[in-house]
Structure 1
Amino acid sequence: MADGSSGDSAPYLRVAARLRSRIADGIWTPGGRLPSRGELGAEFGVGENVVRRAQELLISTGLLEGRAGSGTYVRAPFERRPLLRTPSAAGLPYSGLAPFGFTGTWEADSTAKAEAPPLIAARLGVKAGDPCVRTSYEFLSARQPVMLTTSWEPMAVTGGSVVVLPEGGPLAGHGVVARMAHLGITVARVVESPRPVHVDRDQAHLLGIATGSQATLIERTHYDTGGRPVETADILIPADRWDITYDIALPGT
């Protein structure tokens, strides 16, 4: 068989070798979708879990990528992009959701009256379990997720207003600063704390990368003029896709 394999290696390693060979031989080309795990398992005489482990191994090495709800694909070369954190990127407020120069789209899903987990509650200065609006964002490029954000806003701040949903109402998609201004609240500062993380299984599934892949988590919080937190978010950035850049204007320039 042209794929070749080692008879004494673990089953998933043998399957990974055969998948790798087909990619190297050009049988499967960049961007192409692989057969289903069931089809591959039947062909190779192994279970779907063995195929899954083989695919995860090749995802971790950058040969394959998973796409939530779609399947597994041969990974095309990915162009790294700058993730510019600046007060005026593209004319947006500092907290603009879309990265500077981003030409893709995003999908958002909001849940009202979501109970604040303890860590989120601490960042917002509310009690654990207090009602918030939680909004999950998936940023898409060529219909593939490239970044995830989860935002939390206390309903004590926005509840009952026309801007309670970040992606609904008259200021849908305008960002935290503009929506808070509509309520007479001035956002005075934003604090961001980046730290390295490894993505969990659910995050990896959404991003089409291997569980445990490296990423940067930015914990971002908006504060009003009185120092009250009005929004906090976790921004998850895969390390192999973005170059995070802070553009900071100095006083007097």
Structure 2
Amino acid sequence: MTFGEQPAYLRVASDLRQKIVNGSLPPHTRLPSQARIREEYGVSDTVALEARKVLMAEGLVEGRSGSGTYVRERAVPRRVSRSGDRPPCGSSPFRQEQAEEGARGTWESSSEQEPASAEVAERLGIDEGARVMRTRYLYRDSGDPMMLSTSWEPLDITGRTPVMLPEEGPLGGCGVVDRMAAVDIVVDNVLEQVAARPGLAEELLALGGVPGHVVLVVERTFYASGRAVETADVVVPADRYRLAYHLPVR
């Protein structure tokens, strides 16, 4: 293959994608059948099938049992703001995972103690198997699921203190910085690493996505004098939300 050439299935997918983007194939329109694609583009059944798989993986089309493949309604991405500013305790239902102004956000959470996995232990700088408090969140935007978050805190820091449970007690819902300050730990920086990957089946089920959809994952860790005091994975659907960072210029 010379530079610039594309496999046949990608050329077919590209042409169909363009028709979806420019409105020639509007939302809810049935995608041409495999036989129609084969005839129109002069390709094999295998190429036609692979082209349809590409569009499905990109979230542009969806299969309907017993009916065919249809163009999906394209969501207009909304913004999820990420900021180093600390809002007043209890002022925002999303705190660090705060949606854009005007969003009506709610969330559900549950906390449970567990032994740290190898990955979590490495991120927190603790021994594998050490006890941590895991808290899972499901955030909703105007009632629709929009974001998942799972956090882990070492219980050798918060265990048997009033802030052991992130969403309960006198500082429940106040965020990591204020809760840690209550046990004389000063959080002084946070690291966020952003990556994209296909969503896990359970993530897409919770977020209302379909298999193959891509999610953005923010791996966030709070530090106090170099020691990790909380780490979390924040997951948002890439086709519906964009991450916007507001950072001070020093």
Report the TM-score, using the length of structure 2 for normalisation: 0.68
Whole-angstrom CA distance in 2 between matches of 1:117 and 1:131: 10
Aligned to 1:87: 84
Greater mean deviation of Cα atoms: 206-215 or 76-85: 76-85
Whether 1:211 aligns to 2:211 is: yes
**Percent identity at matched positions?**
34
Residue correspondence of structure 1 range 68-147 to structure 2 within 5 A: 78-88=75-85, 96-101=96-101, 102-112=103-113, 114-147=114-147
Task: Give the 3 Å change call, closer, same or farther, for CA 90–161 of structure 1 in structure 2.
Answer: closer
Per-residue CA deviation, residues 71-112 of structure 1 (Å, 9 max, x unaligned), is xxxx87644221111122765799623334342201001102
Whole-angstrom CA distance in 2 between matches of 1:229 and 1:219: 13
Task: Give the 3 Å change call, closer, same or farther, for CA 58–129 of structure 1 in structure 2.
Answer: closer
Aligned-partner residue type, residue 125 of structure 2: G
- Give SS of 1:237's match: strand
Cα pair 2:109 2:167 within 8 Å, conserved: yes
Whole-angstrom CA distance in 2 between matches of 1:62 and 1:132: 41
Whole-angstrom CA distance in 1 between matches of 2:223 and 2:198: 28
Greater mean deviation of Cα atoms: 240-249 or 181-190: 240-249
RMSD value over aligned CA atoms?
Answer: 3.3
Whole-angstrom CA distance in 2 between matches of 1:64 and 1:191: 39
Length, aligned pairs only: 193
Aligned to 1:175: 175
Report the TM-score, using the length of structure 1 for normalisation: 0.67
Greater mean deviation of Cα atoms: 166-175 or 86-95: 86-95
